[in-house]
Chains A and B, each alone.
Chain A
Amino acid sequence: MMLMTAILAYRPFLDPLPIENIWMLFLIPLVLGVSLVYKTIRLPKLDRLLPATLMLSLQIIVFMVITAAVLWGVTTIFA
């Protein structure tokens, strides 16, 4: 009911989206966008753009997950 009220009252580009509970999912398209722009600039030829972008995205996500796990472990041990 609360979500329904939030959606009905929502005005695009004036009000923030009600994504408080799923904000972490929005990091994936952000990583894809960053990888795509970086590879578009760096690659001399664009025929291998898609695989190179997906590989860089995967690397970023994997390292983000590893970093999060290490930080979680450190805070759990020393808390």
Chain B
Amino acid sequence: MPKNEKSEAESPQWHITSAIAGWLLPGLGHILLGEKKRGLILMVTISGLWLSGFLIGGIGTFDQKSHPAWFMGQSLNGATIAAWKVQESLKSSGSGAIDPGPQNKYQPPYGHVEAQAVLYTALAGLLNLLAMIDVVYRDPKTHRKELVAKDGEGNDVESGNGEVAGGEA
């Protein structure tokens, strides 16, 4: 192996900017790294889980004071911060804002419904953390080289995003 290739392999790049993009919009980090299919699947699935939780429990799902530990999981998805701010402003918009009745701004979830909504949104956040960690360490070029190296007969092997690896190695 030439010296410059060896030093490249020994000092892998950390994709911090892509990970931050992934926090703002799940899957965006992978798309920025060129893994479009993987990124789109992550975007649809993680955002779908988060939106489902939001729909199940309503805006009251993002109440930081009632479940602070779960909120930490929820906030691993950037959109949670915006939803939390809206929830806080609705809550402090006047007396009876969350009391039962037609005058309330929103109805907080309770019981199993609250549990499901919090579970959906917090798991969406934790899965997004997994995706962000994957983005930080993912190196599509190295990955393709590894696939070619593993193929003992010297045949071309497709990489994760469907590109033929042999062309670049």
By a beta-carbon cutoff of 8 Å, the part of chain A in contact with chain B is 9, 11-20, 23, 26, 29-30, 33-34, 36-38, 40-41, 43-47, 49
Contact = CB atoms under 8 A, between A and B. Distances in A.
By size class, the interface of chain B is 35 or more
Contacts of B161: 46
A16 B113 contact: yes
Nearest to A32: B45
Contacts of A19: 56, 112-113, 116
A28 to B, nearest CB: 12
B55, B57, B58, B120 interface centre (most CB from chain A within 10 Å): B58
B131 interface: yes
30 contacts: A9-B102, A12-B55, A13-B55, A16-B60, A16-B107, A17-B55, A17-B57, A17-B113, A18-B113, A19-B56, A19-B116, A20-B113, A23-B113, A26-B120, A30-B49, A33-B45, A33-B123, A33-B124, A34-B127, A36-B45, A37-B42, A37-B130, A37-B131, A38-B130, A40-B38, A41-B38, A41-B42, A43-B160, A46-B162, A49-B41
Contacts of B55: 12-13, 17
Contacts of A40: 38, 41-42, 45
A46 B38 contact: yes
